[in-house]
Amino acid sequence: MAKVKYYYDELTLSYRKIKVKKGDYYRRILFSFLAIILIAFLGFITFSQFIMSPKQRAQKRELENLKLHYELLTKRLEETAVILDEIQQRDNNIYRSYFEANPITDEQRKAGFGGINRYKDLEGYDNSQLIINLTKEVDILSKQLVVQSKSLDEIVNLAKDKENMLASIPAILPVKKEDFYVASGFQMRMHPILKINKFHKGMDFSAAKGTPIYASGNGRVILAERSSTYGNVVYISHGYGYQTIYAHMSKIATANGRYVKRGDLIGYVGNTGLSVSPHLHYEVLKNGVSLNPINFYYADLTLEEFAALQKASEDSQSLD
């Protein structure tokens, strides 16, 4: 039961009951109601900062999961970048060096990422910087992989060309080692017919007439004819600047323009041209300059055989 309130009336010198007007009564009720609503609203706003809905909790878990995946992906990218860097170093210092190709600089490998802002569309989001950084790392890594892939393609082509070069360079004896002895080497000597001192630009292999003569490397026959000085002679162009000459043959077993492989029969030992006895005069040239043929038998001779052949070439007499 509500308490009855009184006030002291000084005129009547007595206490009188306080009568509440209906308007004041309703206003108080209204103000109280509004106060309760306001307090409830403020409380809801305050507590909602600490108490999340199931949807918000799910979104928060998803965001935390995405951040974890981002950290793992970033770590994987860093590990991949380290491995790629090792491959790039090996590419420059071993592969490209071996095949005499110019190294690829870091500027070339990472070119194309300056200038315009290519990540502008990724700006304006809560996690824009994370997304931009990750995208940039992926782009740089992708560019480096493309450059490295092209480099390896180049290395493969160089390897194939190197294989062709190794097969083309003169590397075997033009006459089987059991079929000859060395008559003269790459040195000054008295010409046996002209009787003048003249540099001997090749090596003479004394052998029986008809002994087979073989191409010392892959190449194309550019000349096969009779010469007044060299007699029956064959010239082979091996490419890469190399050329070989086979002179004084008794018979030519190849023809102009024919492609030959290392070890193919091209003729037979003879005594044609300016020659005093059956032998093969053999020359090796690189870019038109005569080289000592003894340095081009590495596919046929042991170290001991090479030393013996070298000594014999220095001590013997020229036959042409």
Contact 254, 266 (CB under 8 A): yes
CA distances from residue 114 to 66, 131, 140, 255, 294 in whole angstroms, order as listed: 29, 18, 11, 60, 56
Domain residue ranges in the chain: 6-48, 54-168, 177-315
Q: What is the model's pTM?
A: 0.56
At 281-317, the pLDDT tens digits run: 999 999 999 998 988 888 788 878 888 877 777 666 6
E-assigned strands of 140-271? 181-184, 187-190, 197-200, 203-206, 212-214, 219-227, 231-239, 242-252, 259-260, 265-269
Least confident of 25-39, 115-129, 170-184, 246-260: 115-129
Instruction: Output the CA–CA distances (angstroms, integers) from residue 137 to 45, 111, 116, 133, 145, in the order listed.
Output: 42, 14, 17, 6, 12
Q: Which two tokens stand for residue 194?
A: 């002209």
* Model pLDDT for residues 187-213, shown as the tens digit of each residue: 666 566 656 666 778 889 989 999 999
SS3 call for 249: strand
What confidence tens digit (pLDDT) does each residue in 85-132 have?
Answer: 888 888 888 777 767 678 888 878 776 655 566 777 767 666 677 777
State the Cα–Cα distance between residues 317 and 191, nearest whole angstrom: 9
**Better pLDDT: 44 or 134:** 134
252: helix, coil or strand?
Answer: strand
Alpha carbon distances (Å) from 172 to 32, 52, 179, 217: 114, 86, 14, 7
Cα-Cα end-to-end distance for the chain: 148
Q: Characterize 10-22 residue by residue with b for buried, 16 or more Cβ atoms within 10 angstroms of its Cβ, and e for exposed.
A: eeeeeeeeeeeee
CA 169 remoteness from chain centre:
26
CATH, domain range 177-315: 2.70.70.10
